[in-house]
């Protein structure tokens, strides 16, 4: 049985529920991934965990080697990925600690290596990206969240910005006008690369803070980290519930 891939973001550099762990740094044609793959079992299900920003957390979002990360998971036999991310909440209801299972993404990033299809091609390759997050995998996450009573937002559009700085209030106003509900820095090109490798991919996002212009006072890392403690505990419970069912 193929392992389920878990990509951990800010606030989730290790998976505490993972039993029988061993790790391996998987070489790729695109360089080294952010960290070694940590393999183990959660609820009887084989899992391969990768810390997106490294372990310890040290790689900023615009410097993550997304191609190497996705290639390493694919080479390890992963065919389904749950990507965890910390985000800012833009619209009403996207409050601190809220869990979101997004269904759409808008890419505002630039200058990132964003495709596997650019060299030594016999023909140009285009992939369908109408639904960037795999509907079947999203449905399983939503069902598990309902069983746990997590009150997760079951849809939402993720604005992927460049970082590492946070956005200005005017930029967040624009994102809201564009139809975005949450803002983060890592959804792209990660989701598109997963699609190019024909991997099922879904995201679980946690609101770490209200976005610029929506929060009271300055947005600080201390405040974000405090919020993520409780938020990632909810994510851990969600993973424990959904993984055995996949």
**Structure confidence at residue 224 (pLDDT):** 79
In a domain, 120, yes or no: no
What's the predicted TM-score (pTM) here? Answer: 0.94
In a domain, 224, yes or no: yes
**Structure confidence at residue 60 (pLDDT):** 96
Distance between CA atoms of residues 78 and 185, nearest Å: 23
**Structure confidence at residue 11 (pLDDT):** 74
In a domain, 88, yes or no: yes
In a 3-state reduction of DSSP, which class is residue 141?
helix
Determine phi and psi for 40, rounding to 5 degrees.
180, -160
**Structure confidence at residue 226 (pLDDT):** 79
pLDDT mean values, one per 10 residues, the chain (246 residues): 91 74 92 95 92 92 98 97 96 94 98 92 91 98 96 97 96 98 98 98 95 83 79 90 92
Q: Would you say 52 is a known binding-site residue? A: yes
Q: Would you say 209 is a known binding-site residue? A: yes
> Could you tell me the CATH number of the domain that includes residue 44?
3.40.50.1580
Q: Would you say 185 is a known binding-site residue? A: yes
In a domain, 63, yes or no: yes
Q: Cβ distance 160 to 192 under 8 Å?
A: no
In a domain, 202, yes or no: yes
In a domain, 240, yes or no: yes
In a domain, 48, yes or no: yes
**Structure confidence at residue 71 (pLDDT):** 98
**Structure confidence at residue 120 (pLDDT):** 85
Residue 225 structural domain = 4-115+126-245
In a domain, 109, yes or no: yes
**Structure confidence at residue 1 (pLDDT):** 81
Cα-based angle 81, 227, 221 (whole degrees, multiple of 5): 95
Q: Would you say 10 is a known binding-site residue? A: yes
**Structure confidence at residue 142 (pLDDT):** 98
Please give the tally of structural domains in the chain.
Answer: 1
Q: Cβ distance 57 to 51 under 8 Å?
A: yes
Return the DSSP state at 109: -
Distances (CA, A) of 79 to 28, 168, 171, 198: 17, 37, 36, 8
């Amino acid at each position: 049985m193929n392992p389920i891939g878990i990509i951990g973001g800010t606030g989730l550099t290790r998976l505490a529920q993972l039993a029988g762990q061993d790790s391996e740094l998987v070489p790729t044609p695109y360089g080294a991934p952010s960290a070694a793959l940590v393999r183990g079992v959660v609820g009887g299900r084989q899992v391969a965990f990768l810390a997106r920003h490294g372990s310890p957390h040290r790689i900023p979002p615009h410097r993550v080697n997304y191609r190497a990360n996705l290639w390493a998971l694919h080479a390890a036999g992963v065919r389904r990925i749950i990507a965890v991310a910390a985000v800012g909440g833009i619209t009403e209801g996207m409050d601190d600690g809220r869990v979101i299972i997004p269904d759409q993404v808008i890419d505002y990033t630039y200058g990132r290596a964003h495709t596997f299809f650019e060299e030594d091609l016999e023909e140009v390759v285009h992939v369908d990206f109408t639904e960037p997050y795999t509907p079947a995998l999203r449905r399983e996450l939503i069902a598990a969240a309902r069983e746990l009573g997590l009150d997760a937002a079951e849809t939402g559009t993720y604005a992927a910005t460049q970082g590492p700085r946070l956005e200005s209030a005017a930029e967040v106003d624009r994102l809201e006008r564009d139809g975005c509900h949450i803002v983060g820095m890592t959804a792209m090109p990660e989701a598109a690369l997963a699609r190019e490798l024909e991997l099922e991919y879904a995201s679980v996002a946690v609101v770490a803070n209200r976005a610029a212009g929506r929060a009271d006072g300055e947005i600080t890392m201390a405040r974000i980290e405090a919020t993520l403690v409780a938020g990632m505990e909810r994510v851990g419970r969600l993973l424990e519930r959904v993984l055995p069912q996949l």
